Every structure is written in C-alpha cells, then in structure tokens.
Amino acid sequence: MNSCIRSDNKEQLDVIYPYINVLINALNSYPFHGTVYRGFLLNTVQLAKYKKDRTFFWSGFSSASKRFAVAAQFAQCNTVFEIIIPKIFSHCCGDISDKSAYPREAEVLLKPYTYFRVLGTKTEKHRGIEYQIPVLLVEATVRNLSGVWKSNDDGDYFICQYGRKVFWYGRSSQNRDYSWSHVGYGIIDDEDVIHLAFGDIPTGRDRYTGDIDIQISFDYATMTKILDTKNSFLTKSWSRVSAQYHQDPIPTGLPIYWSSTSDELTGHWKCNDGGNYYISQFNELIFWLGYHPEGRWCNVAAGKIDKASGVIDLNWGDIVCGANRLYGTLDLLVENKIIKKLAEQIKGIRENTFLGSKWHRVDSK
C-alpha cells in the first residue's frame, strides 16, 4: 500500500483508495497526542537533510512507537526521530497499541502526508549506543480538509473530514456583521469533488438552502466551486488557513435573526447535554449548529424530517470549533414541541456517545 501511495500512480491509487480510506477512517477512532519515536538507518548525507526549520512530509503510513527502545531496535538504526504530536493534531494518527498483534511495541500509526517541522537535532546515548535524534513537530495534515478555511468573500469556514464525509460551518466575517451563517454536509467522490448540501441557520440574516459541487485541489490547500444548482451560493473559492483543531470560535449568545411558526423547528434550542442548538427547517430539510459553551464540542448536522411521523434522520459530525472528533447518525422524534433522541450510530472514540437526548425551544418569534 505504501509503495503505491509513494509512486503517485493514479491508476494504482484508484485501486487501493477504498482500502486507504477504510484504514484512515479506522484510525480516526483512536487519536493520540504526545511523543512517539521512529527509527531509521541514515548515512551522513541523508541525516544532513533534516536541518532546523525544514518542513517535509512522509507520503505513506508511518509506524512509530511510544517507546524509544522499540524504535531503536529497527534495522540497526543510528537515527531515531522524536516526533511531538500536539493535541490539536491528534487526528493525524491512531494509537493502535492495544489493537496490534504486538502490543509491547506501543505502536502509533501516522497517516499519510502528515507535515513535520524539524526543531533541531540532538545526540544521546541509550544503553551505550549513540543516536542522532532529529526532533520533529507535527504542524499539519495533508489531503484532509479538517481545519479553518477562508473564502473569497471573506467568510470563515470550520471543517472536519471523516473518511469521505465532510461537515462544515461557514459564516460571514465580523467585518460583515455575520450577515450569513450556514452549515453543510457532503461526500467526496473519486475525483476529489465534494457534493454538498447546505442550509442557512438563523444566526445569520440569509435564508437559503441548496446543493453545490466543490473541486478540491490535489494538495487539499484550496477549493473551487464548480456547480451551484440554485445559483444562491455566492462564495466561489476557499483557501486553507490552518489545520488545527479546537479553534473555539463560537461566541456565546448568538443572535437569532429569523425563526418559525410553532409547528416548525427553526430557532434556538437547548439540550440536556448543556449545548445550544441553532436549527433551520426548509420543508423536510433540517440543518443545525450545536455547540457547548465551554468549547468541549461543536457539531453540525443535516438531514430530513418525515412530517407524518415527526421522525428526523440526521448525519452529524464534530467540527474544529470544539475538542471532540466524533460523527455518526441520529434518529430523533419531534413530539409536543420537544425533540427526543430515538437511536444513534456513532463513530470516533468508542467510549463516548452523543450525550444529548432531549431538546426544548428557547426562542421563537
């Protein structure tokens, strides 16, 4: 698999892409932050390439260990990379130490195209053997949209990608008085095109919904809109600002610019998970932005309501405004002006769940 990734052969990549996607998606369930080690046998010329402040990436999946001694055993190595993974980039890898057939190796698997910066190189002796130790800091991940983006019309976008699923929250900048605010959910196809459904939410003045197609650049650094079914989405392009998590950009007490009649869901809701939820309904389409006031989590959702039964079927995902990285599906029931959780399927850190189970309306005009 790694040799195919490194070859950059499109035909080969098309064949193995589903397997790469499955593996990356599985690693999302086991984020890790801390220090890991990866051993190499490098000559003087190869080692000299890792100068202070150099940035680079390894294109394939890269195995590392939480234990220096394990990494030092690799292929008579003379060089052990010390890799610092900040919490904001814990999504760049998966801690598979208790999933591996060799749990003593304490393995952490780094995803392809993780970016590193060289902080410096030190020399240390371990068990009487001298090692060169380049110290690396994870600074970004590539070919994943997760992070903060800026649009050509000065909008701010907070995005998370889980496998091929994309969840985002977009808003006009403070310079434009937050005149629009929307959420979106989409799927990335084999040509790196996002097919995305969006809906404005009542924390902005606009009130549109529609479907757009967005072409992602090869390096996942820019995006361009290529189709707008209703010609209602004014943004044309996006550029990545940061790949960091937990940006915490949601101010408390967001204003409500529009609401609905009592038999619809549009408005501000509170949940028993302590969160605020801003929901919009366009006929059978439902969109929401939910966030915890302390930044513990922030999620968006998109789906449909069956008006006859009152059952809502949603896809939801955490975005970079909060600390969590979970996604899944929710079945909800609207009954007597209360929303109740019926069922859920969740992916991410397994011991967690979607904590909310009951919502009530706060504001209605």
pLDDT at 288 over 70: yes
In this structure, how many other beta carbons lie within 10 angstroms of the beta carbon of residue 13? 14
The answer to whether residues 159 and 190 belong to one domain is yes
- Rounded to whole angstroms, how far apart are CA atoms 306 and 353? 25
pLDDT of residue 274: 94
Highest averaged pLDDT of the listed ranges 50-59, 157-166, 257-266 = 157-166
Q: Does residue 14 register a pLDDT over 90?
A: no
Q: Are 84 and 109 in the same domain?
A: yes
Cα(159)–Cα(320) distance, rounded to whole angstroms? 6
- H-helix or E-strand containing 122? strand 114-126
pLDDT higher than 90, residue 47: yes
CATH number for position 78: 3.90.176.10
Stronger pLDDT, 355 or 104, i.e. the higher one: 104
Domain boundary among 101, 122, 141: 141
Write the DSSP assignment of 134-165 as a string of letters. Answer: EEEEEEEESS---EEEEETTSEEEEEEEETTE
Q: Over the stretch 190-224, which tens digit does the pLDDT of each residue have?
A: 788 999 999 999 999 999 999 999 999 877 889 99
The residue behind tokens 């010329």 is 45
Q: Are strands 79-85 and 129-141 parallel, antiparallel or unpaired?
A: parallel
**Pairwise CA distance, residues 14 & 157, whole Å:** 29
- Whether 335 and 362 map to the same domain: the answer is yes
Task: For residues 117 and 248, state if they share a domain.
Answer: no
20 and 154: one domain?
no
Read off the DSSP letter of residue 100. S
Q: Is the pLDDT of residue 182 over 70?
A: yes
Enclosing domain of residue 57? 2-141
Are residue 119 and residue 209 in the same domain, yes or no? Answer: no
pLDDT digits (tens, 9 = 90+) for 317-360: 999 888 888 888 999 999 988 999 998 877 654 445 788 999 99
**What is the strand order of the sheet 107-110 is part of?**
55-58, 114-126, 129-141, 79-85, 34-40, 62-65, 107-110, 93-95
270 in the same domain as 153: yes
Same domain, 125 and 222: no
pLDDT surpasses 70 at 173: yes
**CA distances for 243 relative to 30, 149, 336, angstroms:** 18, 9, 42
User: 63, 55, 70, 56: which is closest to 2 by C-alpha?
Assistant: 63
Minimum mean pLDDT among 24-33, 185-194, 254-263, 317-326: which range? 254-263
Mean of the per-residue pLDDT values of the chain: 88
Is a pLDDT exceeding 80 seen at residue 129? Answer: yes
